[in-house]
Chains A and B, each alone.
Chain A
Amino acid sequence: MGSVAAGAVRHPVVRRLSFVDAFLWAFRLAVVLVVVWGTVGTLRLGRYTGEQWVDFVVFGLAQGGIYALIALGYTMVYGILRMINFAHGEVFMSGAYTAYFVAAPLAASGFLNRHPILSLLLLVAVAAVVSTGVAVLVERVAYRPLRRAPRLVPLITAIGASFFLQYAFRGLYGSGFKAYPEFELFKGEWQVLGIGILRTQAVVLASAAVLMFALYQFVMRTKVGKAMRAVSEDKDAAALMGIDVDRIIVLTFAVGGAAAGAAGILYALVFKQVHFFMGFVPGIKAFTSAVLGGIGNIPGAMLGGLFLGVVESVGPALFLDGLGIVAPYQLKDVIAFTMLVMVLIFRPQGILGERLAAKRA
Chain B
Amino acid sequence: MWRVGLVFGAVAWFVSLAGLVEALHARWVVDGVFSAGQALLVLLLAASGWVGARRSGATLAARLGAGTVAGATAGFCLGLLAWLGAHVNLRAMFINASPVLFELLLRGRPPESGWAANLLVGAALGLAGSLVGVAPAGLVRPLLAGLAGALGLGLFQDLVLLILQPEALTSVREWLFVAGGGPTVQGVLAAATASAAGAGLRPAVKTLAPGASLPPRAAQVVWSLVGVALLATLPVAGGPFVAQVLVIVGLYTLMGLGLNLEVGLAGLLDLGFVAFFAIGAYTVGLLTSTGEHGIAHWSFWAAVPVAVLVSLVAGVVLGIPVLGIRGDYLAIATLGFGEIVRLLVLSDALRPWLGGSQGVLAIPKPVVAGFELSGPQHLYYLTVVASAVVAYVAWRLQDSRLGRAWMAIREDEDVAEALGINLVSVKLLAYGLGAAFAGVGGAIFAVMVGSVFPHSFQLLISIQVLALIIVGGMGSIPGVLVGSAVLIGLPELLREFGEFRFLVYGAALVAMMLLRPEGLLPAAAQRRELHAEVEAEPQSAQLAAGTATEGR
Contact = CB atoms under 8 A, between A and B. Distances in A.
Given A101-B93, A330-B346, A146 B320 contact: no
B327 interface: yes
Contacts of A165: 506
Contact of B466 (A156, A168, A330): A156
B503 A326 contact: no
A317 B432 CA distance: 36
A333 B343 contact: yes
A160 B349 contact: no
A171 to B, nearest CB: 3
Contacts of A43: none
Given A20-B424, A159-B509, A160-B505, A345 B96 contact: no
Given A331-B349, A345-B325, A360-B327, 10 more contacts: A23-B321, A142-B514, A150-B551, A156-B470, A164-B503, A164-B510, A168-B506, A171-B500, A174-B95, A344-B329
Contacts of B298: none
Interface stretch (A214-222, A304-312, A334-342): A334-342
Contacts of B509: 156-157, 159-161, 163-164
A337 B343 contact: yes
Interface string B12-42: 0010011110000000000000000000000
Contacts of A253: none
Interface stretch (B163-171, B277-285, B388-396, B542-550): B542-550
A9 interface: no
A157 B96 CA distance: 27
Contacts of A150: 547, 549-552
B348 A327 contact: yes
B19 A341 contact: no
Contact of A168 (B14, B322, B331, B413): B14
Interface stretch (B57-65, B174-182, B332-340, B487-495): B332-340
Contacts of A16: 422, 424-425
B547 A334 contact: no
Interface of B: 14, 17-20, 92-96, 267, 269, 271, 320-329, 331-333, 335-337, 339-340, 343-344, 346-349, 351, 413-414, 422, 424-425, 459-460, 463, 466-467, 470, 499-500, 502-503, 505-510, 513-514, 517, 543-544, 547-552
A152 to B, nearest CB: 6
B348 A330 contact: yes
Contacts of A327: 347-349
B507 A164 contact: yes
Nearest to B549: A150
Given A141-B510, A344-B333, A330 B93 contact: no
Query: Which one of B321, B507, B551 has the highest number of Cβ atoms from chain A below 10 Å of its Cβ?
Result: B321
A330 B514 contact: no
A323 B514 CA distance: 50
B379 to A, nearest CB: 29
Contact of B332 (A287, A338, A361): A287
A326 B349 CA distance: 5
B463 A163 contact: yes
Interface of A: 16-17, 20, 23-24, 27, 83-84, 101, 141-142, 145-146, 148-157, 159-168, 170-175, 280, 284, 287, 291, 325-328, 330-331, 333-334, 337-338, 340-341, 344-345, 348, 357, 360-361
Given A155-B327, A159-B463, A345 B347 contact: no
Contact of A163 (B267, B322, B505): B505
Q: Is the interface of A mostly helix, strand, loop or mixed?
A: helix
Given A145-B543, A337-B343, A168 B18 contact: yes
Contacts of B269: 152, 155-156
Contacts of B322: 344-345
Given A145-B514, A157-B513, A159-B463, A168 B333 contact: no
Contacts of A330: 343, 346-349
B267 A152 contact: yes
Contact of A341 (B93, B333, B505, B551): B333
Contact of A171 (B271, B346, B503, B508): B503
Given A337-B336, A341-B321, A331 B343 contact: yes
A352 to B, nearest CB: 17
A168 B506 CA distance: 10
19 contacts: A84-B332, A148-B548, A149-B548, A150-B551, A152-B267, A154-B513, A156-B269, A157-B510, A159-B466, A163-B463, A167-B500, A171-B499, A172-B95, A280-B459, A326-B349, A331-B349, A334-B344, A344-B336, A361-B413
B334 to A, nearest CB: 9
Contacts of A145: 514, 543, 547
Nearest to A320: B349
Nearest to B23: A171
A154 B470 CA distance: 13
A162 B425 CA distance: 33
A144 to B, nearest CB: 10
Contact of B547 (A146, A325, A344): A146
Contacts of B348: 326-327, 330
A167 B19 CA distance: 11
A171 B20 contact: yes
A348 B332 CA distance: 12
A172 B321 contact: no
B491 to A, nearest CB: 13
Given A24-B321, A160-B467, A327-B348, A155 B331 contact: yes
A141 B325 CA distance: 28
Contacts of B467: 160
10 cross-chain pairs, A with B, having the tightest CB-CB distances, nearest first = A160-B509, A164-B506, A171-B18, A163-B506, A174-B95, A149-B547, A167-B503, A150-B550, A327-B348, A160-B510
Contacts of B335: 284
Contacts of A155: 269, 327-328, 331
Contacts of B19: 171
B76 to A, nearest CB: 21
B502 A163 contact: yes
Contacts of A174: 95
A153 B333 contact: no
B336, B470, B505 — most chain A CB neighbours (10 Å): B336
